[in-house]
């Protein structure tokens, strides 16, 4: 299982900061814990649609043109969330920055390796990391919901205009 590898303790992180000791509000703990346990709102967890079993590899993100599985890693690379990543730049300061220690230009084309992502998900002993991650996930969840609602409205609009034609 890929996400077990992503969320396991990284050997480079000797004393990683535990998110449970850094977060105090229920909704913050909830969103981070669920994300790490793989029970969240992303499509990769949507096992059955209209009673048809969908393999994980086919649970694709419909909010970008990458045709990639909407898994835990994808929300960190999906262009749909560019504005949120820009807002939460400090979350990525440990993994990518340019020569000027400025990461707002590079995160859009950032490609996580499994090891990068695992290291990232260990929090870098940074006390502010987990709270930032909680806010980041909550913001993504909200934007995704609105985006999917807009898509659904668009689809029903185009199908009704097809009906008329
Ligand atoms: Zn996407």
How far apart are the C-alpha atoms of 29 and 12, rounded to whole Å?
A: 24
- For the chain, the domains span 2-12+35-41+72-149
**8 A C-beta contact, residue 64 and residue 79:** yes
pTM, entire model: 0.80
What's the 29 CA to ligand 1 centre distance in angstroms? 25
Helices and strands, number each (H, E), in the chain = 6, 2
Q: Compute, in angstroms, the gap from residue 84 CA to the centroid of ligand 1.
A: 13
From ligand 1's centre to the CA of 21, what distance in Å?
A: 31
- Asked if 129 contacts 119 with a C-beta cutoff of 8 angstroms, the reply is no
Give the pLDDT means over successive 10-residue stretches in the chain (165 positions): 66 60 90 86 76 81 92 90 88 68 58 82 82 95 95 84 61
């Amino acid at each position: 299982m890929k996400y077990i590898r992503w969320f396991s303790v990284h050997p480079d992180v000797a004393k990683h900061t535990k998110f449970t000791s850094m977060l105090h509000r229920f909704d913050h703990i909830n969103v981070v814990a669920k994300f790490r346990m793989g029970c969240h709102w992303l499509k990769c967890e949507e096992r059955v649609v209209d009673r048809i079993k969908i393999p994980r590899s086919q649970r694709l993100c419909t909010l970008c043109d990458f045709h990639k599985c909407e898994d835990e890693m994808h929300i960190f690379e999906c262009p749909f969330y560019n504005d949120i990543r820009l807002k939460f730049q400090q979350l990525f300061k440990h993994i990518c920055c340019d020569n000027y220690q400025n990461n707002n230009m590079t995160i859009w084309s950032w490609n996580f390796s499994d090891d990068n992502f695992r290291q990232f998900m260990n929090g870098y002993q940074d006390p502010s990391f987990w709270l930032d991650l909680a806010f980041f996930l909550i913001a993504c969840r909200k934007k995704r919901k609105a985006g999917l609602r807009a898509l659904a409205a668009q689809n029903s609009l185009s199908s009704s205009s097809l009906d008329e034609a």
